[in-house]
Structure 1
Amino acid sequence: MGALAVNLIKAATLGQKAARLMATSEGRSAAESTMLDVRRIGKTMLDVASSYVRDPARLVESQIQLWNGYIGLFQTATKRFLGEETKPVVEPARSDKRFKDPEWQNNLVFDLLKQSYLIASQWLAQQVQATQGIDAHTRKKADFYVRQFANAFSPSNFLLTNPEVLRTTLATNGENLVQGMQHLLEDVERGNGKLQIQQTDMKAFRLGENIALTPGKVVYQNDLIQLLQYEPTTDKVHKRPLLIFPPWINKYYILDLTPEKSFVKWAVAQGFTVFVVSWVNPDAQLAMKSFESYMFDGVYDALDAVEKATGEKEVNAIGYCIGGTLLASSLAHMASKGDKRIKSATFFATQVDFTEAGDLQVFIDEEQISEVEQQMEAHGGVLEGSAMASTFNMLRSNELIWSYVVNNYLLGREPVPFDLLYWNADATRMPAKMHIFYLRECYLRNNLAEGRMELGGVNLDLSKVTIPVYLQSSREDHIAPYNSVYKATRLFSGPVKFIIAGSGHIAGVINPPTAQKYQYWTNDERPATPDAWLAGATETAGSWWPDWHKWIKETAGDHVPARVPGDRGLPVLENAPGSYVMVKSDE
C-alpha cells in the first residue's frame, strides 16, 4: 500500500504540472474558445429544455420513461442478486468497445453502472429527437452535444468506475497512473498548453521509408502543388493518364500508405500512368489563396503539366472528398469554356450537394463560420491543422478521444503504431480565403448544387458536365453520407455509376482486393432515393476497386509503351513523396 500511495502522489504532481501548463497563454486561448462553445451549447440545450417546459405533460411523460427504465433495472438486479438468471435491460451496441472487459458483465456492480449509464444516455438522445418546436439545425446540434456529454461521462472513462483500470492500478501499485500522467504532461507540452492526445506512435513512421513508398518523381510544382508521376511497373500502359486530386484537408498519402494498402501502387500495377497532386501545407504567406486558386493552380496547372509530361491532352481524373468537390467545380468551369481534357471523373466519398451533408453540419451556421474566420485571422490567416483534427476527432469521440484517454492516461500504455492514425495526426493548415469560401458556398448555402457558385467569372452549372462519372460512397461514412453523395446522380448530365462500399470515409475507400474485407453494392437503376437504390442493389463481397477498374478501362484508351518520369517535356525535380508533404503543421 505504501508504494501505491507514493505513486498516487507522483501521478497527482504530474497532473498538476499539466494543469499549470494548460493555464499558459496558449492554454488560456483554448479555454476562451471553449467558453464560446459552452455558451453555444448552453443556448442550444436551453432551446430543447424550453420546449419541454412549455408542455408539462410531455415533460412528465419523459420522466416516467426514464424512471421505468431504472425500475426495470432495479428489478433485474434484485433477481440477479438472488441468483436468478436475467437478461440485461439495455445492452451496448455491438460496435461499442468501451464495455468489452468481462467484469462489465460478470460483476453486478459494474453491470449496474454500465446499464444505468446506457439507460440515461439513450433516454437523453431520445428526448432530443422528440423535441418539438425547434428547427432541424438546432436539433442536430443538440443531438451532437448530448452525444459528446454522454461519451465524456461514460463510467469507462474514470479510475474508480472502470474495472480494467482498477485492476491495473492495484496490480502495478499505481505505476500506470504515473506513466499516464507523464503521457498527459507530454501531450500538453507538445500542444504548447493545449491537449493533443497522441493516437499512435508518431516516431514509428517516416515518409518515403516505411510509408508513402510507391516509386515516383516530382515533375512539377508551384505555390500550391507538387505533381507526382509514378514509375511504371508494366511494359505497356493505357494511353490516357490517370490524374488524382486528393483532399488538402489531409495529406495525399492516404492513397499511398503501406504497399499492401496503396491505391496508387495498385493503380500503377493495373497499367495506368498515375499522377497525384500533393497539396502544399500552407502558411500565412498563402492565406489569400482562394478556392479559385486551387482550381487554376491545382486542377488546370496539373492538366497542363500532365500534357507536357506525357504528350497526352486527355486524362481520366479522380477526386477524393474536398478534392472531389474541387474536381466537380472545375468540370463545370471547363464545360462552360469548352475544355474537354478530362474524359471521365471518379469521385471518392465526395459531396457536391450539401443539403444532407454529414455530422460536420453541426459546425455550420453563420455564427460558427464567423468565429472560425476570426480564429484564422488571429493565426495569421490560416486555420491550424490541430483545429481541423480536433473537429474530426469529435465526430467519433469514443474511438478517437476517450479510448485514448483510457489507454494513454488511465492505463498508462503507449499507443500502438498504426499508419492510418499517423496520417490522421499529420494535419494540414487551411488558407482563410479558401476555407471560408468553401464553408459558406458549399455547406451553408449549397451554391454549387444550386448553380449559384461562381469561379473565374463563370457561373457553375453541373448539368453541363456530360462525361462518364463514377460515384463511390461508403455505407458508414459520417462525413460524406451515401445519401448525400447519391444526390450527385441527379446533377451530372452524362452516364453516372453509383456504388456504396462497406465501412466509412477512409476504410471504405482504402480497401485493396487482397484484404478481402467488407463489400460493395451496385445497381444500374437510379430510383428517386438512395434507400430505394440500396433495396434493389446487388451485394458483392470484397473490394470495389476491381469494379472501378472494369469501368475505367472503357475510357482508358489503348495500350502504349510505359512512360517514365522525366522522359518527355518535364524534368524530374525530386523523388516522391516530395518535399511539400514533409512540412508539418507545427513547424
Structure 2
Amino acid sequence: MTDKANAPEGADSEELSRTLVEITEKSQQLVQDFLGREQSAQHISMDDAMHMSSLFQELTTRMMANPMQLAQAQINFWQNYMQLVNNAALRFWGHQQDPVISPNKTDKRFRHEAWEENPIFDFIKQSYLLAADYVHSSVKNVEGMDDRTARKIDFHTRQFVDALSPTNFVATNPEVLQKTIDTQGGNLLKGLKNLLNDLEAGEGKLRIRTTDQDAFDVGRNLATTPGKVVYQTDLMQLIQYAPSTEKVYKRPLLFVPPWINKFYILDMQEKNSLIKYMVDQGHTVFVVSWKNPQKEHAEKTFTDYMKEGPLAAVDAITQATGEEEINCVGYCLGGTLTGATLGYMAAHNDDRIKSVTYFTCMLDFEQPGELEVFIDEEQIQALEKRMDSQGFLEAGAMSSTMSSLRANDLIWSFFVNNYLKGDDPFPFDLLYWNQDCTNMPAKMHSFYLRNMYQRNLLREPGGITLDGTPIDLRKIETPACFVSAIEDHIAPWKTTYRGVHLHSGPAKFILGGSGHIAGIINPPAKNKYGFWTNSKNPEDADAWLDGATHTEGSWWPSWNTWLVRRAGAKVDARQPGDGKLKPIEDAPGSYVKEKA
C-alpha cells in the first residue's frame, strides 16, 4: 500500500485505490462498447480514409513534378535549423540569441515563461515552429492544383501539424511537467479519469468537455429573460417576451436563429442578452426555438423549415399582437432561411416583413470559408449515407467539424488542460452553449449542403424552388441590414457582403469586430471591438472597408437606431397572452431543453 505522504497531492491511499478501480472498470466497459460499434462504423472510416488518401496522392504527384522547388524548401529548412542549433549552443554558454522563428502573437500555446527562459524548451519550441512552417509552405507553394483542392490539403495539413505540437505531450510541455512533479503524477491520473469520462459521455467517441457542464442550466442561469411560449409547430416553439417598458414600438421583432445550435445564444445571461437588450429598447420580441429533430423528422425538408418556422411565426405574431407587419432578424443559417422565405413571400406579393436584418449570414456561397473543405461530392455522399441510416446528422458530428476550424483553441487547449494537467474546464456560458448542439434532419440537411454550399443556387434567380415557388432574391424590396464580423471564419464577411447586392431594396452593412459569435454577442456595457459603417455599398468588399468609418464599442445601439426608424409609433406594451394566442408554457420552453 502506498504511504499517504507519497501519494499524489490531495489524495490518500484509499482515494487512489478507488480511482484506479473506477478507471479499470470504465476502461473495460468502453472497450466492449467500442468493439460492438466498430463493425457498423467501419464503412464511414473507410470513406474518410479513401478521401484523405486521394487528396494527398495528388499532392505528392504535384510535388514530384517540381523536385527543384521541393529541394529548395528543404535547403531553406536545414539552413534555418542549423542556425537554431548554433543559437542553442551559444545560449548554453550564456550568450543570448535572437530567435530564428517566433510564434504568432495570437498563438496561446507557448505563453508559459519556460518556452523562452529555458534553453531546452526554447529549442523544442523553435524546432517545432520551423518544421511546421516548412510543411505549410511546401504544401501551399505546390503548383498545378486547383484552389479548392489546395485549400483542403492546407486545412488537413494544419490539423496534422497542430496535433504534433510539443504542448500536446507530457515530456515536452514544461507546465505539464512541473505539475506532474508537484502532484507526483496525480494530474495524469486525474487526466486519465477525465479522458474516460469524456469517452463514456461520447459513447466511445472523444467529446472533450470545454466547460463545466454542471455550472449552467437553461432556464435557471441561461435564457432567463421572462416570456411565454405562445405557439408551436412540429419544428419550433415561438416565444414572446414580456415587455420591460410601458410603451413599445408598433411592429414586433422576430428573431430566427440557426438550428445547428440553440436559440439562447441570443439570451445567454442578463449581462450579454441581445433579446433582453431589445426588450429594454421597447420592442415586442419574439424568437423561434427550433426542435431538436430525431429519426421521425428524417423527411422534413427545407420547405418544411420555412413553412413551420418563419412563415408560421409571422402568422402567429399577428394572432398574438394583432399586428400584420413585423421586423425580422435571421442569424447565420437562420438568416439564409429568412432570405429564402422573403424570396418566397415576394413571389406571393406578401410584404408583411417590413425590414430584415442578417447576422453573419451568407446568401451567396461562392467563397464560404473553411467549411468548404467538407463540401465536395465524395464527402456529401458519405454524409448522406450516414444520415440515411439514422434519419438525421447527429449533433456531435457538426460540433466536431466546427471545433476543427479552430483546433488549437477548441480542441488541443482543452486536451492539455483536461487530460495532461488533470484540471476541470472553467465554467464558461458561451462554451456551454457551443456544446449544446442539435441534430439535423437528413432530407433538409442534404438539400442545404447541395443547393447552398455545393451549387450556390440561392443567389441564382429561380435556382431553388420551395413549395412549388421559384425563389428570386432580387425581387426582395424589403430594407435590409447586414451585420458581419471581421474575423468570422464560418461566414467570412467579404462573402456575406455579397448579399447586399442580391436584394432590390435599400441595404446597410455593418462590420463588427471579433468573430462569428463574439462579434454578434457584443453588449454595449463591454465597450469592446468596435465596428465599421459606410453610407455607400460599392461592389467590392475591400472598397467598402476602405471607405468605412470606425466607431468604438458595440454596434447594437447603431443597429437599433436603424431598426427604430422602421418600427412604427409607440403603443401600449403587450403582455404574452393578451391576444388570441394563450401561453403554452414559460420561456425558454421545452424544445430548447431537449438534448441531442
Which TM class, normalised by the smaller chain length?
over 0.9
How many Å separate the matches in 2 of 1:439 and 1:325?
A: 12
Match of 1:535 in 2: 546
Describe the shift of the 1:56–1:4 C-alpha distance in structure 2 as closer, same or farther (beyond 3 A). farther
- Kept in 1, the 8 Å contact 2:228–2:589? The answer is yes
Match of 1:153 in 2: 164
Query: Any residues of structure 2 matched to 1:83-482 within 5 Å, and which?
Result: 83-379=94-390, 381-451=391-461, 452-482=463-493
1:346 aligns to what SS in structure 2?
Answer: strand
Kindly provide the CA deviation profile for residues 62-86 of structure 1, in whole angstroms up to 9, marking residues without a partner as x: 2112212212322322332232222
**1:56 maps to amino acid:** P
| Structure 2 residue 497 is the aligned partner of structure 1 residue 494 | no
Match of 1:570 in 2: 581
Give the deviation of 1:61 after TM superposition: 1.4
Give the deviation of 1:54 after TM superposition: 1.1
**2:258 maps to amino acid:** P
Give the deviation of 1:122 after TM superposition: 1.7
- Kept in 2, the 8 Å contact 1:24–1:193? The answer is no
Describe the shift of the 1:544–1:21 C-alpha distance in structure 2 as closer, same or farther (beyond 3 A). farther
How many Å separate the matches in 1 of 2:482 and 2:87?
A: 49
Give the deviation of 1:456 after TM superposition: 1.4
2:162 aligns to what SS in structure 1?
Answer: helix
How many Å separate the matches in 2 of 1:69 and 1:191?
A: 43
Which stretch has the larger CA shift, 1-10 or 320-329? 1-10
2:255 aligns to what SS in structure 1?
Answer: strand
- Kept in 2, the 8 Å contact 1:15–1:181? The answer is no
Describe the shift of the 1:179–1:476 C-alpha distance in structure 2 as closer, same or farther (beyond 3 A). same
Which stretch has the larger CA shift, 541-550 or 48-57? 48-57
Kindly provide the CA deviation profile for residues 283-331 of structure 1, in whole angstroms up to 9, marking residues without a partner as x: 1111111000011111111000000000000000000000000000011
How many Å separate the matches in 2 of 1:18 and 1:102?
A: 41
Give the deviation of 1:157 after TM superposition: 0.2
| Structure 2 residue 521 is the aligned partner of structure 1 residue 510 | yes
Which stretch has the larger CA shift, 113-122 or 14-23? 14-23
How many Å separate the matches in 1 of 2:448 and 2:420?
A: 40
Q: Percent identical across equivalent pairs?
A: 49
How many Å separate the matches in 2 of 1:155 and 1:125?
A: 17
Kindly provide the CA deviation profile for residues 129-157 of structure 1, in whole angstroms up to 9, marking residues without a partner as x: 21111111111110110110011000000
2:287 aligns to what SS in structure 1?
Answer: strand
Describe the shift of the 1:516–1:246 C-alpha distance in structure 2 as closer, same or farther (beyond 3 A). same
1:90 aligns to what SS in structure 2?
Answer: coil
**2:277 maps to amino acid:** W
1:406 aligns to what SS in structure 2?
Answer: helix
How many Å separate the matches in 1 of 2:210 and 2:39?
A: 24
- Kept in 1, the 8 Å contact 2:47–2:382? The answer is no
1:37 aligns to what SS in structure 2?
Answer: helix
Give the deviation of 1:35 after TM superposition: 4.1
- Kept in 2, the 8 Å contact 1:15–1:184? The answer is no
How many Å separate the matches in 1 of 2:398 and 2:137?
A: 29
**2:418 maps to amino acid:** N
Kindly provide the CA deviation profile for residues 33-56 of structure 1, in whole angstroms up to 9, marking residues without a partner as x: 344323322221221121110112
How many Å separate the matches in 2 of 1:516 and 1:345?
A: 26
Structure 1: segments with no counterpart, 5+ residues: none
1:226 aligns to what SS in structure 2?
Answer: strand
How many Å separate the matches in 1 of 2:176 and 2:26?
A: 17
How many Å separate the matches in 2 of 1:140 and 1:14?
A: 44
2:565 aligns to what SS in structure 1?
Answer: helix
How many Å separate the matches in 2 of 1:424 and 1:190?
A: 16
Structure 2: segments with no counterpart, 5+ residues: none
How many Å separate the matches in 2 of 1:582 and 1:464?
A: 38
**1:77 maps to amino acid:** A
How many Å separate the matches in 2 of 1:112 and 1:378?
A: 50
- Kept in 2, the 8 Å contact 1:14–1:181? The answer is no
- Kept in 2, the 8 Å contact 1:214–1:230? The answer is yes
1:167 aligns to what SS in structure 2?
Answer: helix
TM-score of the pair, normalised by structure 1: 0.96
- What CA RMSD, in Å, does the superposition of the two structures yield over aligned residues? 1.9
Give the deviation of 1:421 after TM superposition: 0.8
2:125 aligns to what SS in structure 1?
Answer: helix
**1:145 maps to amino acid:** H
How many Å separate the matches in 1 of 2:33 and 2:452?
A: 36
How many Å separate the matches in 2 of 1:510 and 1:413?
A: 28
Which stretch has the larger CA shift, 512-521 or 59-68? 59-68
**1:431 maps to amino acid:** P
- Kept in 2, the 8 Å contact 1:351–1:480? The answer is yes
Match of 1:522 in 2: 533
- Kept in 2, the 8 Å contact 1:18–1:184? The answer is no
How many Å separate the matches in 2 of 1:355 and 1:129?
A: 21
- Kept in 1, the 8 Å contact 2:501–2:539? The answer is no
- Kept in 2, the 8 Å contact 1:248–1:279? The answer is yes
- Kept in 2, the 8 Å contact 1:22–1:194? The answer is no
Give the deviation of 1:4 after TM superposition: 7.5
Match of 2:49 in 1: 38
TM-score of the pair, normalised by structure 2: 0.95
Give the deviation of 1:167 after TM superposition: 0.6
Kindly provide the CA deviation profile for residues 382-434 of structure 1, in whole angstroms up to 9, marking residues without a partner as x: 11111111111111111111111100001110111111111111110000010
How many Å separate the matches in 2 of 1:71 and 1:527?
A: 50
